[in-house]
Structure formats: C-alpha cells, structure tokens
Copies of this chain bind each other. A is one copy, B any other.
Amino acid sequence: MQVTFLGTSGSMPTPMRGSSSVVVRLGRELLMFDCGEGTQRQMVKAHVGFQRHMKIFISHLHGDHVLGLPGLLQSMSLLRREKPLHIYGPIGLVQYVKAFSESLGAPGFPVVLYEIRESGVIFYSEKYQIIAVPAIHRVTAWSYCFIEADRPGRFYPEKAKELGVPKGELWGLLQDGESVMVEDRVIESSMVSGPTRHGRKIVYSGDTAPNPELVELSRGADLLIHESTFMDDLAERAQEDGHTTALQAAEIAKEADVKKLVLTHLSSRYPDPLVVLAEAKPVFDNVVVAEDFLELTLELE
C-alpha cells in the first residue's frame, strides 16, 4: 500500500507545493483525499493512472481542496474512462459538481456523488471501511479514516497435515479463519496459522482545529496525515481559522499513539520544512513534513 502526497500547500500553492491531495494506492484501487487545483497534473507526474477503480473523499468545499475535480473529470472523459468514479464529501458537493458540469460539460462516465450527513461509516466492504467524523473548520468539513479489515494469519499446511486435516475444503475454511471438525476434534484456525494480520489504518484530517474526536479515531493508526497550517506562535490565528499548529499535531499524534505522523497543508510563510519539523519532533519523534511526491509504503504486519 503506497501513500503519495500530490499536493501539500496551505491555501495558496507555492513553487514547491501544489494544492491539497493525497492518494492511497491499494492494489488496483485508488483512494484520493482532496483534489486541489493541479491534481491531475501531479497525478501525471507521479505516474498515477486515470483509469483505476477510484474513490475520492473531499474534506470540504474550499477551492484549494476541490478545484482539481473539474479538470480531473474532464481528462478522464478525454481518456474515455468508463468505470464509475465515486466521490464523497460534504453537503454542497452535488451542487458544485453540477455547477461546473453545466458550464463546461458533463463527464462522459458515471460519477456517483455522496453527500455525508452524519458521522460514522460512510463506506464498507470486506476489505476496508471509511469512517468520517466532523472536522472543526470555518465551513462544514470532514476528517476521514481508512481502516483495512484484519486478515487471518499465514496458513501453515504442514501443521494442518500433522493435526490430520485432509487437504481440500477444510483447508480453505481454516485459511479464512474458521474452525473445523476432524473426527470429534475441533481444529481452530489459530492452531494452523500465524497470528492475525492487523489491517492498516490511515487517518486524513483535512483542514481542522485540534479535534478530540479525531484523536479517538486516530488511536493506534499506522499513519496520521494531519494538517499543520501554522506554527505555534500563530496558535491563536490557527484556532480562529480552524487550523492546527505543528506542535498541536504532534501532541495529537502522541495522545492517539499513532505509529507515524505526516504534517501537510503548510502555509507558504514557512518555506523551510525543517523549521516546522523542529517544532513537532521533540513531542512526537516519528514525524515527517510532507513534500509534493513524498511516497510512503505501509507494509501489512
């Protein structure tokens, strides 16, 4: 599973940082969190294809988080995409997509829109679920959490043979984590398998002031992608505008006991990421300041 940062700027792009977007490559599927202006070009640069199964999660309807959508949809149409594209976001998403489609032409493939009305699970499949919680920002905004389903541990055929389980259907059940009966004995999956492999968990804050609900949601996450628009000397301004400082993001990561923290959505007033890093690192050591095209690989443990 690769996490690629396509745009990492605050409200305005800079020569070094494009507008907000992060993608998670999950097998053949692509999950995108926000789609700021210029995202399609960043995708081309990062070799992220336009034809994948794809879901987009929009945190809120500010330009720096959504202005890449019209161009992305247009280019997908030009490339004759046929697969549906699923877009989740706050109330107003439908009107926004409708508005630019009416002016510039509708996409040539199905676009399925979901306006989130309450917090909780907004997508669920056997492989993963997505949870949305309200962010604390000037407009309605959502933070998102990707939770991969746990997978049964590795199956050891030798152990199954030792315990007298015949190869075939019963092996399949054991591999899926089920128990089976062999001559009055119960053979549990755990007797022939390694430990359960925990699914990965990624949290994307979007724009938000520090949010206790997001701390809870982030608990134990493999990766917390948290906005860090300001540094702590502007903590008051951050609170007013619904943003977080680098120091606060580090405190959140520590409290939530996440494995790794990536700071993104940096104001253009901080051209040197090391200064931002220096504020967060004493509080939470495993922290990185995102830059455009930063790519992280999250291994299944």
Instruction: Report the separation of the CA atoms of residues A103 and B15 in the bound assembly, to the nearest whole angstrom.
Output: 27
Cβ–Cβ contact A78 & B45, under 8 A = no
Which of B63, B95, B105 contacts A70, CB < 8 Å? B63
A186 CB within 8 Å of chain B: no
Please indicate the chain B residues that have their CB under 8 angstroms from the CB of A38 in the complex. 37-38, 41
- The minimal Cβ–Cβ distance linking A256 to chain B, given in whole angstroms, is 31
The docked-state distance in angstroms from the alpha carbon of A199 to that of B58 is 50
B92 touches A99 (CB 8 A): no
Q: Does A170 contact B (CB under 8 A)?
A: no
**A37: which B residues are within 8 A, CB to CB?**
37-38, 40-41, 67-68, 70-71
User: In the assembled complex, which residues on chain B have CB atoms less than 8 Å from the CB atom of A181?
Assistant: none
- With A19-B71, A37-B40, A41-B37 known to touch, is A103 a contact of B61 (CB < 8 Å)? yes
User: Which residues of chain A (212-246) have a CB below 8 Å from chain B?
Assistant: none
Once the chains are docked, how many angstroms separate the CA of A96 from the CA of B62? Answer: 17
The answer to the question of A300 belonging to the interface, with a C-beta cut-off of 8 Å to chain B, is no
Chain B CB within 8 A of A14 CB: yes
Decide if A75 is an interface residue (CB 8 Å cutoff): yes
Q: Is the CB of B44 within 8 A of A15?
A: yes
User: Residues 1-38 of chain A: 1 if any B CB is under 8 Å from the residue's CB, otherwise 0?
Assistant: 00000000001111100110000000000000000011
Taking the nearest CB of chain B, how far is it from the CB of A31, in angstroms?
22
Are A104 and B63 in contact (CB-based, < 8 A)?
A: yes
C-alpha spacing A68/B61, complex, angstroms: 16
**Known contacts A37-B68, A37-B71, A38-B37, A44 near B13 by CB under 8 Å:** yes
Q: Indicate whether A203 reaches chain B with its CB closer than 8 angstroms.
A: no
Q: Is A207 an interface residue (CB 8 A)?
A: no
Answer whether residue A64 sits at the interface, using C-beta atoms and an 8 A cutoff: yes
Query: A123 on the interface (CB 8 Å rule)?
Result: no
Give chain B nearest CB distance to A87 CB in angstroms.
14
A156 at the binding interface (Cβ < 8 Å)? no
CA of A11 to CA of B44, assembled, Å = 14
Please give me the residue from chain B that is nearest to A97 by CB atom. B103
Residues of B within 8 A of A100 (CB): 96, 99-100
Residues on B with C-beta less than 8 A from A41 are: 13-15, 18, 37-38
Q: Which 6 pairs between the two chains have the least Cβ-Cβ distance?
A: A99-B99, A96-B103, A13-B41, A63-B74, A37-B71, A38-B38
